[in-house]
Amino acid sequence: MSSGAQTSPANSLIELRDVAKHYDSDAGPVLVLSDVDLSVAAGEAVALKGVSGSGKSTLLHIVGAIDKANGGVVRVCGVDLGALNVRQQTDFRAHRIGFVFQFFNLIPTLTALENVIAALEPLGGTGMSRQEAAVAALRLTGLDGFLNKYPSQLSGGQQQRVAIARAVAKKPAVLLADEPTGALDATTAALVLELFGAVRREVNCAVVIATHDPVVSKYVDRVVRLERGRLVQEAGEVTRLAP
């Protein structure tokens, strides 16, 4: 087991124990993750590094209830994700998980405000409550003056801020980001990473960022690396994301 990659905070929101994942192929099972142990607390930010194909996205998808592990225990917000059926997984993601992706995935025919509202619709509530939550999230990301702009009218950094607002409007317990700075220049990437710090202070969520970007290490509490399907701990430091 990769015991060096884990901590055991009392308020852990993410708990992975002996997690394994493989995919079937014509040549037999392809191992992606093996004996992965990881704990992430509320308000903590962790960077997940590794070469392409190392399983970073797979691990995020398992934590985010998109995919299931083949072995081990995955407990998020106290819920055993392995015991959920497909419908329960969907409901869990909608209420507990916020996702931020590299390529924004905004709906081009909707304004910034409408994109965030659309992400809240599966949660129910009134139209007014969804709009209020969306406006608050966009305000948190510094987009007060861009509510009615379409994605094509926004810069890459602004589009990523909309994507972050969409993810955090429901105040998720866990925020997962897959290469969130990959399509951004260095200055904009730094602003986005600062924004993750503001978000986690605002909603006290656990943040896991899968990344190739070495700069991300300066904005998180811990760095873990996937090597041959296993997690290893890198040297940590107190950084700008720390509350």
* Domain CATH code at residue 125: 3.40.50.300
The pLDDT tens digits of the residues spanning 213-225 come to 889 999 999 999 9
Q: What percent of the chain has pLDDT over 90?
A: 67
* CB hemisphere CA count around 235 (13 angstroms): 0
Would you say 72 and 108 are in contact if contact means Cβ atoms under 8 Å apart?
Answer: no
73: phi then psi, degrees, rounded to nearest 5: -120, 130
Pairing of strands 45-49, 206-210: parallel
Q: Where are the alpha helices (DSSP H) in 86-126?
A: 86-96, 112-120
pLDDT bucket at 235, cuts 50 / 70 / 90: low
Read off the pLDDT band of 10 (50, 70, 90): low
Residue 240 domain flag: no
Residue 238 falls inside a structural domain: no
Q: Is residue 28 part of a domain?
A: yes
Rg (CA), the chain: 18
Residue 239 resides in a domain: no
Measured CA to CA in angstroms, residue 120 lies from 66, 135, 142, 219 at distances of 18, 12, 19, 28
- Tell me whether residue 241 is in a domain: no
Number of domains observed in the structure of the chain: 1
* Mean pLDDT, the chain, whole residue set: 89
pLDDT by residue (tens digit) across 89-131? 999 999 999 999 888 899 999 999 999 999 999 888 888 999 9
Range of the domain at 67: 3-233
pLDDT of residue 237: 44
pLDDT for position 241: 45
* Residue 99 resides in a domain: yes
- Tell me if 38 sits within 8 A of 6, measured CB to CB: yes
Sign of CA dihedral 236, 32, 38, 170: positive
Other beta carbons within 10 Å of 149: 16
Amino acid at 77: C
The neighbouring-strand residues paired with 45 are 207
For the entire predicted model, the pTM comes to: 0.87
Q: Is residue 116 part of a domain?
A: yes
pLDDT digits (tens, 9 = 90+) for 146-190: 999 999 999 999 999 999 999 999 999 999 999 998 888 899 889
